[in-house]
Amino acid sequence: MLVVEAKLKNGTKDQYSKLDDAIRTAQFIRNKCVKFWMENKGTTRNDLQKLCSVLAADKTTPWTNKLNSQARQSSADRAWQAISKFYANCRNPAIKKKGFPKFKKHSRSVEYKLTGYKLSNDRRKITFIDGFKAGTFDLWCSQKTLVYYSEQQIKRVRVVRRADGYYCQFLIDYEREEKHEFTGNITGIDLGLKEFLTESNGNTVENPRYFRKSEKRLKKAQRRLSKRFKKGQKQSENYHKQRRKVAKLHLKVSRQRKDRAIKDALALVQSHDLVVYEALKVSNMVKNHKLSKSISDASWYQFTQWVNYFAKIHKITCIAVAPHFTTIDCSVCGAKVEKTLSTRTHQCPSCKTVLDRDHNAARNILSKGLQQLGAYLNGSGGHPQTDPNACRESDLWVFNGDIENLSRLVEAGISNSDVERIPRHSDIGA
């Protein structure tokens, strides 16, 4: 599937208000479905779909009938998605927080399936033809991508409200594939805060720190917002103007992170045939209040998601390994060298190896990935419950199905495992 996003432009204030009404109606139907599930034991997905028709026929809620029928079904599907995820978490004892379905208070989107809208022949305009009758909007996007796809390929259309306007997302049935020539380049990457990532060959990518750079401007805007807040009273129009300014600043930082993550992930995948990274549990790491802001600003999870996506469409091998002991273990002799967070250099007392701590960790990550890949090829992946280095389905993504190329990757890793040009204590006068 492919998602193409375009901005909805040249609409009147009344038209955008009708889009808001459609979004609120979709939120109302989703919340009604969640409440129905809470009150009726044994509710199924079909029961929620039937409830949509009941709500549309209810005279006490006439606005629900204005929303397109398939859009109502999409809202019920959203409710069932939250319910089914809760059931799955309950069956998994490893997940402590089960995620009980909650009522939505501030929804920002409504989703149509195949009806409720109409595209122009040149794909430059979209008209919403459901009961709200929002009318026609111009579609603005960076590329004329929609022209290359037929209406049969468009499976969903989602209207999203953001701080800087309204957007339309088109879900297109298309399998994206890119050509990738096998070169034998392999790498392991260590994600950090000082440097965003460090490769096993010593190359680094700087941490842009977008939020830190915008923090001064954000603080000033949020102070102005606080001064205009009136407790217990209806907020003024000046308050809402400032609130939108603050939201736009946060949106800019979010877009900067996403753009950088896409570019770094694409460059990494295009230049390598094997990428190994550490599977960090970011949700647990941000509980450290001293580092939570910096960890969130680095956006590691978003980066690894894009690495997996580009690895799939380029058909290369991508492996996620457990991060345990990658910083402590020496990448040359395997000795354990304890370090504090402020210790930035790895100095092994056994083999006298001196490395940057992130470079040492990246080499260990690559070694773990090669072990998992070798176990996968030999058919002895181990058992996840007893073997800490076991190859699990969620950790190993083998998109390149050529066994010969995979074997060549392991051989290349073994040949590159010889330690060369690593300074010793004697080389630096230690």
pLDDT means per 10 residues, the chain with 430 residues, are 88 93 94 94 92 90 91 94 94 88 92 91 89 91 76 90 93 86 86 91 90 93 94 91 94 94 93 89 88 91 92 88 87 84 85 87 89 76 42 52 65 51 39
- pLDDT for res 307: 93
CA triple 157-160-164, angle to 5 deg: 140
Q: pLDDT value at position 267?
A: 92
Using DSSP, state whether 289 is helix, strand or coil: coil
**pTM summary value:** 0.84
Amino acid 143: pLDDT: 62
Beta-bridge mates of residue 158 = 111, 169
Q: How far is CA 346 from CA 132, 355, 423, in A?
A: 64, 5, 11
Q: Give the end-to-end CA distance of the chain in Å, rounded to a whole number.
A: 56
B/e letters for 274-292, b = 16+ CB within 10 Å, e = fewer, are bbbbbebebeeeeeeeeee
Residues near 278 by beta carbon (within 8 Å), at least 6 away in sequence: 189, 190, 191, 320, 321, 322, 323, 326, 361, 365
Q: Which helix (H) or strand (E) holds 162?
A: strand 154-162
Q: Which two tokens stand for residue 305?
A: 């998601």
In angstroms, the Cα distances linking 95 to 60, 89, 221, 281, 384 are 41, 6, 39, 13, 16
Residue 100: predicted pLDDT: 92
